[in-house]
Amino acid sequence: MPSRFQLEWVIEKEDSGLILRDFLKRKEISRTALTDIKFKGGDILVNGEAVTVRYSLKAQDLLTVIFPNEEPSAGFSGEDIPLNIIFEDDYLLIVNKPAYMNTIPSREHPAGSLANALMGYYEKIGLPATAHIVTRLDRDTSGIVLIAKHRHVHHLFSMMQRDHLVNRTYEALAEGGISADTGTITAPIGRKEQSIIEREVRPDGQYARTHYRVLNRYSQFTQIELNLETGRTHQIRVHMSYLGHPLLGDDLYGGDTAIINRQALHCKKIAFIHPITHQELVFTAALPLDMKKVIEAEQLK
């Protein structure tokens, strides 16, 4: 049987006398997780002995929380698809997703997704987990995706995202010449009427804010870097179209497909504090070949 995911803490003097349930709450272990631990094969040990959540902690106690093994999702069958892994440890994966790959299966593309590739990889390494994808990308957007290897780690990242502590940087090619060197687009985004997929700026939409910075200007497009304050569906694509500079190749939002046949958008950087080790981590992924070729062709003119 595969080893179960576990976390350990040596109790500090200031936490002596604290009820174990309250300590675990401070560590963001959810009520649902505690229920799973109790009924689905987990354990809570202090100095190697099983205890209840009513236990009163003492300084230098060794607390071990053992989570039950997860059941892989029935909707994500494993497939033998290569993964471009930038970083991996016991808790997370950083993957460079190519364009034309769904993050999760869809009705139009039921196979070949990043989730399918993850499940295939987990089967190979014997990891009893499902696909906990923290930062999703559109099918035709390339770049960095953050993946949690366990439900609890995913929960911790969700809390971090709520507090804007997972920072992603994108690079894009936007049509036309953007005159300002930097700018911020603050415009609410909602679903477009009569469309399941398309979004638009609309007064009753959700608050959305995008910051951009010009990297280079060319005759047909502007190379820009973007950071998001919010994470709305299609946010960069909708905001740039609203600004009058749709992304090259983004035909859903008015972009020209003559020189690239997908939205020229790439997640190139992610930065966060590791939720378990508390180490500051930064990862980057170079521009993909199709976007590089567009830029190089313009530079040769």
User: Which active-site residues does the annotation give?
Assistant: 138
DSSP class of residue 59 equals T
Contact, 103 vs 142, CB < 8 A?
no
As a whole number of angstroms, the distance between CA 187 and CA 242 comes to: 9
Pairwise CA distance, residues 151 & 131, whole Å: 9
**Residue 165: closest CA among 93, 273, 269, 267:** 273
Q: Is 12 helix (H, G, I), strand (E, B) or coil?
A: coil
Identify the DSSP state of 71.
P
Helix (H) or strand (E) holding 185: strand 182-186
> What ranges in 27-173 are assigned the alpha helix state H?
31-39, 114-125, 151-162
Got the DSSP string for 210-258? Answer: EEEEEEEE-SSEEEEEEEESS--TTHHHHHHHHTT-PBTT-GGGT---S
Q: List the end-to-end C-alpha distance of the chain, in Å, as a whole number.
A: 61
